Structure 1
Amino acid sequence: MARAVVVGVDSSTQSCKVELRASEDGELLGFGSAPHPHTVPPISEQDPAAWWEALVIALGHARRAAGDVDIVSIGIAGQCHGFVPLDAAGRVIRPAKLWNDTTAAPELAALVAEVGAAEFARSIGSVPTAAFTIAKIAWLRAHEPSSFARLRTVLLPHDYLAYRLTGRFATDRSDASGTGYFDPAENVYRIEHLQRIDPEVDWAPMLPEVLGPEGIAGTVLPEVAAELGIRAGARVSAGAGDQHASALGLGIRDGDLVCSFGTSGVVVTTTPAPLADESGIVSGTANLTGGFLPLVCTLNGAKVTDAFARILGVDHAELSRLALAAGASGPVLAAYLDGERTPNRPGAAGLLADITTEVTREEIARAAVEGVVFGLRVGVEGIDRLGIDTGGDVFAIGGGARSAATTQVLADALNREVRLVDAAEPVARGAAVQAAAVQHGATVGELGEAWRPPQLRAIEPRGAGFTAERYARYREAAAVTALDA
């Protein structure tokens, strides 16, 4: 007899990853992945059809690995902020602009100047950056008016995949809270912000329904089920933004910190109360359990260490070894290689400061790792300034967290123990938790706690003063990059 399974999907910038987990206890039964088209900011676009093709391939791999299974529900987590424009027939008008596309920076700056940072923070919990969907909608109107005239539906990446599965337009409050026109405290769209782009457009019918934590986007259409090789009628849960699903997959509790080292660098915690940061450092997004997920995202995550491994002509293991062998001296890196989102400097470039004729490969490697980690320490300090509890456990996740240097420097920078857990794909895991909650009629929070992954090991800091002087110098170097504006 086929075993009942739930599907967790992570549709990220780089790839689609799929986990099949046993519906009753979360046991991992199958995994599959498929790449997405490569992008290079400042222009970062993908054809949404490529996301669907990758999902079909990745699900096929996972099903073959799992054997005889019956898919009963599907949860989809996707890269946040991306703008998928559809016409009246539900067709994609143009390639989707992704979160790390910074070409809408001028349009976003004009919107913030008109609305005001304080009003944005009050009304949506965040001060939007060029990453946010609202900026990309404004860009479309300014640069492609004929495409804008055809616009009838605005979706996010995870919404689009759910639409392909179910034929229904729906989203969830976690992903909606990164658009720039949704208030997660009141759970309502702020149409007035879209009206700043074009007051003549009837915006409300263009926006998908925002579902709650245990919401159901729909069921898999018969023709789609046939394409995927699964039964029709499987439920599709509300879905999520990727970092929000990751927090659920890790089972984090109020006060815990998650530092994610992927394409971007992200630090999040979870809290029951809404927040508003007028400085724009912390986004007041919603989590998947009905509360809030203070979030700081940098554009420059593991791709920084990718770049320096290439420059030094080493693999990642050797880059890590070099970084850990460095002493306390040497250059520091303001790692804004492709512009930056936090702080909001879309036109910035990286700055390697304090190079001398005595510089070593070890010191360059360490600077690269620190450049990523210190960017997240700035984010932690931003969350702390809002009075939000961050005194719980610290978790490191993402591909970059496989580097011993990254996790050690993180422990040093925060002067706190850093934990690694047995969750290779926390985003897909969180999406599967949500799908299982829908199937069992449980709350997402209860199931997230029950499926909390076990800890692998912890990394201890090497002393409070190990990075203090270097971090102070990093802040000075990072401040210089403000001159790019």
Structure 2
Amino acid sequence: GTGYFDSVTNEYRRDLLALALHRSEEEVAGIVLPRVVGPNEVAGHGGDDVLGADLSHLALGPGCGDNAGAALGLGLRPGQTSVSLGTSGVVAAVSSTPTHDPSGLVTGFADATGAFLPLACTLNGARILDAAKKVLGVSYDEFDELALSAEPGAGGLVHVPYLEGERTPNLPEATGMLTGMTLSSLTPANYARAAVEGLLCLMGACLDAVRAQGVDISEVAIVGGGVKWRSAKELSPAVLGVPVDVPPAGEYVAIGAAKQAAWILDGGAEPPAWELAGAEHLTAPAQPEVRAAYDKAAAVVAGTQG
């Protein structure tokens, strides 16, 4: 964002712009800033002579960022949240009320429908599992089999996967930690399981950061390349503690952009309801003991960075 647009009032904060430019508010008052249109508002139409072509039939509507586009493409509503497992991890929740997190862990974006999109992002994502697979020297399928063969809690082995520092929590200089190692716990299966649980606990901490802003999270949709890891997908409802939907693979940012364009042309009060066929719904009893062990180990890492 600009840093000087208020997504709650939908107005520019010219006082902040004045501070950024080291100019008076009177001077900044004369600066022409682009108008931010509503989520289904037509801003105008194309010209009747653009390089010899008549484009007057083309409606110009609002755009949106990638996370807002993905939320629209997934059809998320208040109470629903996406967890993206890619190079990094992203938790984006649709909320009917705005959020303001003074800690900076949760960023208060707007979504593409007129609601809000509080978001928390990690530096570490599915590459946590790539790194563990490389250490074990196994294939993707073999890694999943190892992780799923171990008991919940990985025999006491806990992996805090801050492999490239971390953003949530804000520990840019941190490194990862593997704890709970004993002669009995240090097995390939437990290590694979600890890596998967570490990734999911990291995303669970992001979910909790968003919840702390008063946002209801009753279910999540998991997307991104990390979903290809069967172990991450199957263990997610137990570690995250909520039902999980796994939509079919797709370019949901592009789908959201297409839905936004269709909404502008349709002119309705709500975006078109495009059903996502084939989503997999997963449930499992929550395993809070896994998260408790992770939080204890993560606190040790945070303490060394103080």
Q: In which range does the TM-score fall when normalised by the shorter chain? A: 0.7 to 0.9
CA contact (8 A) 1:286 1:292 kept: yes
2:163 alignment partner, SS class: coil
- For residues 171 and 51 of structure 2, the distance between their equivalents in structure 1, rounded to whole angstroms, comes to 44
**CA shift in 2, pair 1:316/1:190, >3 Å:** farther
The alpha carbon displacement at 1:420 in A equals 1.7
**CA shift in 2, pair 1:225/1:460, >3 Å:** farther
Match of 1:474 in 2: 294
Supply the RMSD in Å over aligned alpha carbons.
Answer: 3.1
- For residues 455 and 203 of structure 1, the distance between their equivalents in structure 2, rounded to whole angstroms, comes to 52
Asked which structure has the greater RCO (Cα within 8 Å, sep 6+), the reply is 2
Q: Which AA in structure 2 matches 1:361?
A: P
Match of 1:295 in 2: 119
Q: Which AA in structure 2 matches 1:308?
A: A
Tell me which of 219, 236, 250 is aligned to 1:410.
Answer: 236
Structure 2: stretches of 5+ with no match in the other structure: none
- Residue by residue, what CA displacement relative to the aligned partner does 1:316-371 show, whole Å, maximum 9, x if unpaired? 33322221112231422222222222112222222222233441122222222222
The alpha carbon displacement at 1:195 in A equals 4.6
Q: Which AA in structure 2 matches 1:312?
A: L
1:238-387 alignment runs, 5 A limit: 238-327=62-151, 328=153, 329-358=155-184, 359-387=186-214
- For residues 274 and 435 of structure 1, the distance between their equivalents in structure 2, rounded to whole angstroms, comes to 25
Q: How many residues align?
A: 297
- For residues 198 and 315 of structure 1, the distance between their equivalents in structure 2, rounded to whole angstroms, comes to 54
- For residues 28 and 145 of structure 2, the distance between their equivalents in structure 1, rounded to whole angstroms, comes to 53
Q: TM-score, normalised by structure 2?
A: 0.84
- For residues 72 and 150 of structure 2, the distance between their equivalents in structure 1, rounded to whole angstroms, comes to 36
- For residues 157 and 47 of structure 2, the distance between their equivalents in structure 1, rounded to whole angstroms, comes to 56
**CA shift in 2, pair 1:191/1:335, >3 Å:** farther
Q: Which AA in structure 1 matches 2:233?
A: T
Q: TM-score, normalised by structure 1?
A: 0.55
- For residues 240 and 323 of structure 1, the distance between their equivalents in structure 2, rounded to whole angstroms, comes to 38
1:211 alignment partner, SS class: coil
2:8 alignment partner, SS class: coil
1:433 aligns with 2:256: no
2:22 alignment partner, SS class: coil
1:101-250 alignment runs, 5 A limit: 176=1, 179-200=2-23, 205=31, 208-215=34-41, 235=59, 237-250=61-74
Structure 1: stretches of 5+ with no match in the other structure: 1-175
CA contact (8 A) 2:133 2:143 kept: yes
- Residue by residue, what CA displacement relative to the aligned partner does 1:111-143 show, whole Å, maximum 9, x if unpaired? xxxxxxxxxxxxxxxxxxxxxxxxxxxxxxxxx
Match of 2:274 in 1: 451
The alpha carbon displacement at 1:415 in A equals 2.9
- For residues 308 and 192 of structure 1, the distance between their equivalents in structure 2, rounded to whole angstroms, comes to 49
CA contact (8 A) 1:225 1:232 kept: no
- For residues 51 and 182 of structure 2, the distance between their equivalents in structure 1, rounded to whole angstroms, comes to 62
- For residues 90 and 96 of structure 2, the distance between their equivalents in structure 1, rounded to whole angstroms, comes to 20
